[in-house]
Amino acid sequence: MMSFFSGISYQLRGLQMALKTPRLLMLGLARLLVVLALAVAASAVVLAYHSDILNALWTRPESAWLVWLWVLVSWLLALLLVGVAAVCAYLLAQVLFAVVIMDLMSRITERMVTGEVLSTPEASLGRQLVYLISQEMPRAILPVLISLVVFVAGWFTPVGPFVALLSSLTAAVFLAWDNTDLVPARQMLPFAERFRRFTRTLPFHIGFGLWFLIPVANIVFLSFAPVGATLYQVATRTEGPGAGNLQKP
């Protein structure tokens, strides 16, 4: 349980640090503006079809006793659609250029906290960046897209709201890992080892990812999440079998 609350707090600590550091603030704002523009465009599209989607799921009841419930579901659906739009905008930004900015934010944070950036001595900066970009598909894009498909399909089942909530939480957890995995991936640790670390720290990632489920606020937290994620990795860094192979780039 403490790990869960730690995940919540590291998001806030990272955001606070970013707001006080000009370089991190500028990089985060660059991501924020792109994601915001894409999110607004995606939200406008999904909300334009909001009524059609709701009517396909549940036609407005004639009974006055049920209308209030229908209105509540309508608002919840709108919030969920906006959340999905923000996640889609984030993924599109990732594919375009954001992985490079995320890594730069992580490097700046690690250097500010420890005075150095650990990496593998045989890997150039270019190779590290290519490796990071290649990890986006198994680490975030594919899991999140699957979660979104389950989210949409879930609304057509009797337990749709529960399935939609579970799939949204799953997507948020993988987005959290997308940030906390920056440091291990930069050190080019094997994917299997990094995934084992992720599964062992699920409570932390759930807490870290909860901020991504809050409409509008999630865009801000997604933009500055690499800072808090790096603070977490630096704080929990331990000497392991491959630690001796790490050095300053």
Which run of H or of E encompasses 139?
A: none
Gap between the Cα atoms of 218 and 139, Å rounded: 19
pLDDT digits (tens, 9 = 90+) for 5-17: 999 999 999 999 9
In this prediction, residue 98 carries a pLDDT of: 67
Residues of the chain with pLDDT under 70: 1, 50, 53-54, 57-58, 61, 64, 70, 83, 87, 90, 94-98, 119-125, 129, 152, 155-156, 238-249
Residue keyed to tokens 């084992």? 196
In this prediction, residue 116 carries a pLDDT of: 84
In this prediction, residue 155 carries a pLDDT of: 66
Gap between the Cα atoms of 173 and 207, Å rounded: 8
Annotate 192-210 with b (16+ C-beta within 10 A) or e (fewer). Answer: eebeebbeebeebbbbbbb
pLDDT digits (tens, 9 = 90+) for 229-245: 999 999 987 544 444 33
If you ran DSSP here, which 8-state letter would residue 62 be given?
Answer: S
Gap between the Cα atoms of 205 and 198, Å rounded: 8
Half-sphere exposure of 125 (CA within 13 A, CB side): 7
Q: Where are the domains of the chain?
A: 2-237
Who's near 40: CB < 8 A, 6+ residues apart?
Answer: none
Under a CB-based contact definition with an 8 Å cutoff, are residues 165 and 219 in contact?
A: no
